[in-house]
């Protein structure tokens, strides 16, 4: 009676929480719990999800975490409902004696309380692990995206560089290439052919192109060009074309030059004395047949008329050799060729003939021409252009 009246009091309309869930930090009466029967499938599902391939994004992990949280909340609610039912059932039973054993319902409630705490701790651990896995997955996705962005940027830079290389050069590059070509040809003409006038014209043409560009960055190149042009203008020029033509004119009359003739000396007049006899006359006749004369200096042999053609060919060869040496500006070979021709003229041709005298004087004048001229260095402008505009493509 008293037990029934006590249960009907207004203060006991709502039963007190027998598990003491209010004492658990972070869990209220409606906190999440996990039934032992439901924990094994949830754990199996978690292991299955971990054994599978890692998702490519954190969205799948977020959905899985939400499902596990809902399942844990349902299990906790179910356990809470069971505990309330057991509490009401225990309230309806008669109170045990003070010295009797503890009811079985109290031990069951304590076991359920421990299982509920373990379930909540397991849910917290799983949620924490899922959060860590989600963070790692997001970091891996961000790393892959960063690598993809870097690879895409590198490929774009490579494509832009290839397109820039394949693109045709602009007008400035064309003009600089023209200047570079003119300077190279000028150096070749001066060093290999010793053509001062040709190299000078090429340098002036390169300076004209640089003037049209009007680029202050090429100031050093124009300064070097000005010095080289002034140096070439100060070189004493030799009319190689006129020299070649003079030698060519000397070859025209070689076939008409007269050979040197033998010199005859008259015999001395015999003295016809009145007292000479026959024996004296015979002695004079014998003396006229054999005469001995001492000559001073080198004896110049005479050529037979049929050997004159060989002299002409040799003289022509020496003059052509002198022409080639003049074009190459080889002073030694030029002088040797003309001196050899002069020696043959003096030895085998008639020195008294006007044509021979004229040819001899012309060759002597040509032999005094100086072909060995010191040439300046004109490679400084080309080097300055390489430093200012870069190497040739």
How far apart, in whole angstroms, are the C-alpha atoms of residue 143 and residue 56? Answer: 12
How far apart, in whole angstroms, are the C-alpha atoms of residue 14 and residue 31? Answer: 18
User: Which of the two residues, 26 and 316, has the higher pLDDT score?
Assistant: 316
Mapping DSSP to helix (H, G, I), strand (E, B) and coil, where does residue 349 land? strand
Helix ranges (H only) for 193-277 are 196-213, 219-233, 240-250
- Please check the confidence at residue 224 and state whether its pLDDT lies above 70: yes
pLDDT digits (tens, 9 = 90+) for 314-335: 999 999 999 999 888 888 999 9
The average pLDDT across 243-250 equals 90
Residue 240 vs residues 245, 246, 333: alpha-carbon distances, Å? 9, 10, 15
Beta carbons of 71 and 33 less than 8 angstroms apart: no
Average pLDDT, the chain: 75
pLDDT digits (tens, 9 = 90+) for 178-213: 999 999 999 999 888 778 888 999 999 999 999 998
User: Which of the two residues, 360 and 66, has the higher pLDDT score?
Assistant: 360
User: Which of the two residues, 68 and 14, has the higher pLDDT score?
Assistant: 68
- The per-residue pLDDT for 11 is 41
Helices 171-192, 380-389: inter-axial angle, 10-degree rounding = 160
Residue 336, token pair as written in the block = 């040797």
How far apart, in whole angstroms, are the C-alpha atoms of residue 117 and residue 83? Answer: 14
């Amino acid at each position: 009676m008293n037990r029934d009246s006590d249960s009907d009091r207004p203060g006991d309309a709502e039963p007190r929480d027998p598990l003491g869930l209010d004492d658990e930090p972070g869990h209220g009466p409606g906190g999440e719990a996990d039934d032992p029967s439901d924990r094994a499938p949830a754990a199996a599902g978690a292991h299955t999800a971990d054994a599978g391939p890692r998702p490519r994004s954190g969205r799948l992990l977020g959905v899985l975490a939400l499902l596990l949280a809902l399942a844990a909340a349902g299990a906790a609610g179910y356990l809470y409902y069971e505990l309330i039912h057991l509490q009401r059932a225990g309230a309806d039973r008669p109170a045990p004696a003070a010295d009797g054993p503890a009811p079985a319902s109290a031990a069951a409630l304590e076991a359920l309380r421990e299982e509920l705490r373990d379930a909540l701790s397991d849910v917290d651990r799983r949620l924490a692990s899922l959060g860590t896995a989600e963070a790692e997955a997001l970091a891996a996705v961000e790393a892959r995206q960063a690598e993809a962005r870097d690879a895409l940027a590198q490929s774009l830079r490579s494509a832009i560089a290839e397109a820039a290389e394949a693109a045709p050069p602009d007008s400035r590059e064309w003009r600089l290439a023209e200047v570079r070509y003119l300077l190279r040809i000028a150096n070749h003409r001066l060093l290999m052919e010793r053509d001062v006038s040709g190299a000078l014209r090429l340098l002036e043409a390169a300076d004209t192109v640089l003037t049209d560009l009007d680029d202050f960055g090429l100031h050093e190149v124009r300064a070097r060009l000005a010095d080289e042009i002034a140096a070439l203008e100060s070189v004493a020029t030799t009319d190689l074309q006129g020299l070649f033509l003079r030698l060519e004119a000397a070859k025209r009359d070689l076939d008409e030059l007269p050979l040197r003739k033998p010199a005859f000396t008259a015999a001395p007049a015999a003295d016809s004395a009145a007292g000479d006899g026959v024996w004296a006359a015979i002695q004079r006749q014998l003396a006229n047949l054999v005469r001995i004369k001492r000559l001073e200096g080198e004896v110049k042999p005479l050529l037979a008329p049929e050997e004159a053609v060989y002299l002409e060919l040799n003289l022509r060869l020496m003059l052509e050799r002198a022409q080639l040496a003049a074009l190459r500006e080889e002073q030694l070979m030029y002088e040797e060729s003309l001196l050899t021709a002069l020696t043959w003229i003096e030895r085998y041709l008639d020195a008294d003939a006007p044509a021979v005298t004229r040819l001899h004087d012309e060759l002597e004048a040509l032999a005094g021409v100086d072909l060995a001229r010191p040439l300046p260095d004109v490679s400084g402008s080309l080097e300055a252009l390489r430093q200012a505009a870069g190497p040739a493509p």
